[in-house]
């Protein structure tokens, strides 16, 4: 039984996942009783644990070995046995077991000119910028998440367009975590 929830913060590259998670973790540290939240960067796992089979030159990205990746993720979060508190940072929810994750936050940046600027600033080639812009316009990642976790509140979409959104989104995820913890404590224990 987890004492803290596991959360995926997902969305198209450039929507602000890493920035928002960094803000969330510092918010959790500022509290008188800090919550032990941990950033799980799937990008780092793909790179550091060789969970890839090659490199796609056109899309400037490693080709992910999904089976190996999910084995590594499961080792980190220990399936249902872990204590939770993982804030997972990845541009997809594909492959994650529904039971591992209590909340999916999909960050959105539907102001395409804003997203375009963020992706271009990373030096992405046109094909990669276009692929990501299309994914954002069609809401591909939000749809994928709802297929996995349903429409009952386990998937939330938050706008990440303006600078103020970062702080506000981090604060609302933090609030959700506090409520989750409270609900767990209030639950009658099985006898
Ligand atoms: P992701 O992890 O989703 O790829 P990042 O967190 O790395 O995205 O953010 C990409 C860039 O966009 C960074 O330079 C970040 O400062 C900026 N950014 C992200 N979200 C916002 C926002 N809501 N307002 C302004 N800039 C943002």
Region 62-84: mean pLDDT is: 92
Give me the DSSP letters along 50-77: T-EEEEETTTTEEEE-HHHHHHHHHHHH
Distance between CA 167 and CA 160 in Å, rounded?
A: 10
| pLDDT surpasses 70 at 96 | yes
Which strands sit side by side in the sheet containing 38-41, from one edge to the other?
38-41, 86-89, 7-10, 103-108, 155-159
Pocket (CB within 6 angstroms of ligand 1): 11, 13-19, 118, 160-163, 165-166
Residue 15 C-alpha to ligand 1 middle, in angstroms? 5
DSSP lists the bridge partners of residue 157 as 106
Condensed to tens digits (0 to 9), the pLDDT of residues 140-158 reads 999 999 999 997 789 999 9
| pLDDT surpasses 70 at 68 | yes
Nearest to 180 by CA among 108, 92, 105, 107: 105
Residue 84 C-alpha to ligand 1 middle, in angstroms? 25
Neighbours of 146 (CB within 10 A): 18
Distance between CA 159 and CA 168 in Å, rounded?
A: 10
Query: Is residue 129 very low, low, confident or very high in pLDDT (cuts 50, 70, 90)?
Result: very high
| Mean pLDDT over each residue of the chain, to the nearest integer | 94
Quick one: which atom of ligand 1 is closest to the CA of 15? 3
Quick one: which atom of ligand 1 is closest to the CA of 161? 23
The pTM assigned to this predicted structure is: 0.95
Quick one: which atom of ligand 1 is closest to the CA of 159? 23
Spatial contact of 86 and 99, defined as CB atoms under 8 Å apart: no
Listed by start position, the domains of the chain span: 7-182
Residue 14 C-alpha to ligand 1 middle, in angstroms? 5
Residue 109 C-alpha to ligand 1 middle, in angstroms? 10
| pLDDT surpasses 60 at 191 | no
Q: Find the range with the poorest average confidence among 11-20, 29-38, 60-69.
A: 29-38
Query: Is residue 190 very low, low, confident or very high in pLDDT (cuts 50, 70, 90)?
Result: low
Residue ID of nearest Cα to ligand 1 atom 17: 16
């Amino acid at each position: 039984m987890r004492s803290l929830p596991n959360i995926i913060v997902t969305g198209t590259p450039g929507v602000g996942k890493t920035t928002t998670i960094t803000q969330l973790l510092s918010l959790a540290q500022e509290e008188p009783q800090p919550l032990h939240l941990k950033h799980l960067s799937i990008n780092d796992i793909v790179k550091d644990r060789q969970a890839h089979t090659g490199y796609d030159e056109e899309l400037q990205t490693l080709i992910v070995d999904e089976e190996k990746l999910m084995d590594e993720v499961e080792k980190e979060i220990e399936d249902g046995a872990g204590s939770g508190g993982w804030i997972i940072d990845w541009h997809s929810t594909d492959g994650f077991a529904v039971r591992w994750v209590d909340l999916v936050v999909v960050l959105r940046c539907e102001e395409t000119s804003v997203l375009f600027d963020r992706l271009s600033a990373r030096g992405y080639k046109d094909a990669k910028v276009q692929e990501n812009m299309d994914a954002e316009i069609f809401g591909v990642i939000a749809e994928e998440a709802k297929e996995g976790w349903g429409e009952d509140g386990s998937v939330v979409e938050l706008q990440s367009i303006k600078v103020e959104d970062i702080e506000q989104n981090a604060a609302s995820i933090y609030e959700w975590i506090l409520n989750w913890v409270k609900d767990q404590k209030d639950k009658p224990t099985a006898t």
